[in-house]
Chain A
């Protein structure tokens, strides 16, 4: 392994890590606001990828400036689609076993279980709808790279990096500055007090759930051209996402982003030293280590805030 290899991996890791970091923001939003372990988060990413695929196919590769822009557009548009699906899911299912008024530990397990059910339905439903052959979204930029000395910087990755960063920043600014963003933070901070000042906490949860899903879906859409995916790809993402969110510290979106980036980077760097299967195992090992040794993560804020 040469120094060039190392830096190449480092750069690729950061570029590739941005969509993962964006995924983590989606999860962080749901986890932070609703305090619910969402099993279906990986499926939202998966649906984002498939959404991008179908939109891209529909729009046609030749339209609007070539496959690259189509791929990107499709990736981003997948977000709102999944947003709507998740909104409906919360309204129909998750919201029925949630409730700011109930604080019982009992209720949390109901929420977790229902997301497990949703995850299975989405996963295997996806199999039925999309088939098992791996797909990916064609993107001409995926094979082009900038050259910097001996290092190759993949153009498609750069685009998805900046897009992920943009969406992440947009999201955090919305949360910080907008009225609804503040209402969401209030509902997360203290549901009871939020109710007293007129905030509909169930509605806030619904928004958080749908947004979290939509954002993770955009990430899925952006990586759809980078690697092939199948309906089962969700579970792998779930582990990385939770590892990233916990690493960054529950309750901090910035932390989630950085945590996600770090995990992706670690995984990328591990390709230099570890065989393929162990790379993924490494994620789980780190994850376990975090939970057992430092559950508050790097940014160490308490679970109560977002």
Chain B
């Protein structure tokens, strides 16, 4: 088990965002974490990458408890969090964004390979190397954010709502590429999404969160065919 989350609770003051959530992810697997807005997906990711106030439970990476590990250190341990809303470095160019994302990888050859892989995954970025990231379209920024996350050759990629705010055609494109990530089979990916279908199609298994708790879990097949998901999202 590469990543294990044991009964994690995240609370902002009195507001409980995630409650006693547990799951595990094997190396190389892709897990979809879906659920309606406010379900706690982003807070869960924040707990794994270390920027959320975790009040109980633990996160284990290769068996090691991450409790006292600062967020930037967790990144160095191989957890790459691609945040909701992209958050690219607007005044830096595309290549600079990717380069700065690769910096934590000490091995120069691995760094080079990772950067190449990023560009291969998103060939459109090659032509935009010198463009300031702030001038890119939403879809391009999303691709850049993922490329930046991959550039450090991480073990775990946390992809937080990549489709948010993007037009449908672009969303399709992004998910196609995420699927090709899965085809490579080396990276462990957690994909948080509101759009259940796109997420489940890309992943091996899924977790459905509602109001901070796990409402449903299962393989891709089970979940996609489940009528309960629609009920969870849109009421009875």
Contacts and interface: CB of A to CB of B under 8 A. Distances in A.
A and B touching (C-beta < 8 Å)?
yes
Given A179-B103, A182-B92, A189-B92, A197 B80 contact: yes
A273 interface: no
B100 A200 contact: no
Contact of B103 (A189, A192, A198, A301): A198
Contact of A196 (B70, B80, B90): B80
A190 interface: yes
A198 B92 contact: no
Contact of A190 (B75, B82, B87): B87
Give the contact-size bracket for chain B.
Answer: 20 to 34
Interface string B65-90: 00000111101100011110001111
A197 B91 contact: no
Interface string B84-121: 00011111100010011101100000000000000000
A192 B152 CA distance: 17
B220 interface: no
Interface in A111-130: none
Contacts of A306: 91
Contacts of B75: 195-198
A226 B99 CA distance: 43
Contact of A192 (B76, B83, B96, B149): B83
A304 interface: yes
A186 B83 contact: no
B49 interface: yes
B152 A197 contact: yes
B41 interface: no
A266 B103 CA distance: 43
Given A196-B80, A197-B148, A186 B100 contact: yes
A304 B90 contact: yes
Contact of B89 (A185, A195, A200, A301): A185
Interface string A189-219: 1101111111111000000000000000000
A35 B149 CA distance: 26
Contacts of A301: 91
B34 to A, nearest CB: 22
B51 interface: yes
A183 interface: yes
A251 B92 CA distance: 13
A195 B104 CA distance: 11
B99 A182 contact: yes
Contacts of A155: none
Interface residues of A, number: 23
B72 A198 contact: yes
Interface string B115-153: 000000000000000000010000000000100110010
Contacts of A194: 89
Contacts of A193: 83, 87-89, 145
A183 B89 contact: no
A195 B87 contact: no
Given A186-B89, A304-B90, A305-B90, A197 B51 contact: no
Contacts of B90: 189-190, 304-305
B92 A192 contact: no
A3 interface: no
Contacts of B87: 190, 192-193
A1 interface: no
A182 B93 CA distance: 11
A263 to B, nearest CB: 24
Interface in B165-188: none
Nearest to B50: A195
A193 to B, nearest CB: 4
A206 to B, nearest CB: 14
Nearest to B97: A186
Interface of A: 101, 179, 182-183, 185-186, 189-190, 192-201, 251, 301, 304-306
Given A200-B72, A251-B91, A301-B91, 4 more contacts: A189-B90, A195-B72, A196-B82, A199-B100
Interface of B: 49, 51, 70-73, 75-76, 80-83, 87-92, 96, 99-101, 103-104, 134, 145, 148-149, 152
8 contacts: A101-B51, A179-B103, A190-B87, A190-B90, A195-B71, A197-B148, A197-B149, A198-B73
